[in-house]
Amino acid sequence: MTTGNKWAKVRRWGLIGAAGIAGATAAQLAIPTGAMLREVFKYPEPVQDGPDPLVAAPTHPMRSSVVGTRDGTLLHVVASGDVDDSDEILVLIHGWTCNTGFWNPQFNHFGGTRPMVAYDQRGHGLSELGSTKPSVEMLGQDLQAVLEAMIPEGKRAVLVGHSMGGMTIMSWAKQFGAGMEDRVSAIVLCSTAARGVVQRQHLIPDDVPALARPGKRMLERLFTSSRLPLPSNALTAKFSHYITVGPVARQAHVDFTDEMVSACSPKARGAWGSAMYTLDVLAGLDKVTVPTAVVVGDADLLTPVEHAQEMAKALSSRGFLHSYTVYEGAGHMVPFERAVPLNALLDDLLSDVSAATGS
């Protein structure tokens, strides 16, 4: 056999082998993908009950500004209310693929009666992504920059984090939490996780055959790290319903979510999704020394109840669990799915903080 024929044969068998691997990989992916699609299309149609005024843009005065981070990236910040009116300032930190508009129900609830601050996470909304590779540590560092810029001397923050926003708070606590009670008076961890967030989601049914489990892990990574643009239409709305809100959902909430997610930068979505794959900020809970409320929906597929239970147990063991609340039928988007009871919880927490400090 000539050398040319020998290498032609090697290449041919190499191509056959690669095709076989690709075929096996496609089969492994097809099974969990099909299982998830089956669940997506089993969800009931959203409830057609008109618009939700709480998710509408606030009508009271709002101020916009920017905050520079340690690497020079600029974050967009919105604020309302007078900081002189209260010793505590609500600081709202949204989750992955969202923006400051996510907190409209809370801004509308408090109006201009309480000072509030929210910011677009790096690469989300109007904030720059910057040139530094996103990391879980960066989440906490960006929050520290916002607190330094927006919370005046002598005032304290009440940190409210949803999903990646809750991870941000735990990342911040892990890095900057020493003596936090001087700067923070309370925390709310809503629909979030301290570790294994991608690996422990329930979007893909757990009962896939053993041969498809490698494909399930691949699909989990693809779901979070993909940088493909996402449109907003009737089909994507079905996926948004399944992924983010409870089975019995208002059309207004499905549309609100779908439009917000599609508006997120694909590059930022993929970069932050990749960063969260190695999430482990459980140690941040050991630094928490203020009353902390843990909130979750029992139909949350992205950050299931087991995460909330884990965080609540860690906080309770150290005496810093303010409350543990599970909203029946709610999915991942509790701040607007269950806006009224969550706003009441915030009122109660703020009252408890004021009573404790005598203010």
Q: d(Cα 350, Cα 189) in Å, to the nearest integer? A: 15
For the residues 309-335, what does the mean pLDDT come to? 98
Provide the pLDDT for residue 179: 93
Alpha-carbon span 294 to 345, nearest angstrom? 11
Q: Is the pLDDT of residue 342 over 80?
A: yes
Q: What is the mean pLDDT of the chain?
A: 90
What's the token pair of residue 71? 């690497």
With bands split at pLDDT 50, 70 and 90, how would you rate the model's confidence at 210? Answer: low
- Calpha distance 83→77 (Å, rounded): 15
Mean pLDDT of 99-104: 98
Q: What is the mean pLDDT of residues 84-90?
A: 92
Domains of the chain: 53-199+256-357 (3.40.50.1820)
pLDDT at residue 35 in the model = 81
Tell me, rounded to whole angstroms, the distance of Cα 206 from its chain centroid: 22
Q: How confident is the model at residue 229 (pLDDT cuts 50, 70, 90)?
A: confident
User: What pLDDT shows up at residue 157?
Assistant: 98
Find out whether 97 and 260 touch, Cβ atoms under 8 Å.
yes
Mean pLDDT of 210-234: 77
Residue 211: per-residue pLDDT? 60
pLDDT, one tens digit per residue, over 110-131 is 998 999 999 999 999 999 999 9
Greater pLDDT, 145 or 227: 145
Three-state DSSP class for 71?
coil
Per-residue pLDDT averaged across 276-302, rounded?
A: 97
Helix intervals (H) in 100-233: 104-110, 136-150, 164-176, 213-225
pLDDT band at 9 (very low <50, low <70, confident <90, very high): very low
Q: What is the pLDDT of residue 11?
A: 45
* Residue 199 to residues 161, 206, 223, 277, 283, Cα–Cα distance (Å): 21, 11, 11, 8, 19
pLDDT of res. 216: 65
pLDDT in tens, 29-83: 777 788 888 889 999 999 999 999 999 999 999 999 999 999 999 999 999 999 8
> Is 346's pLDDT higher than 80?
yes
Phi, psi of 24 (to 5 degrees): -65, -40
Question: pLDDT band at residue 206, thresholds of 50, 70 and 90?
Answer: confident
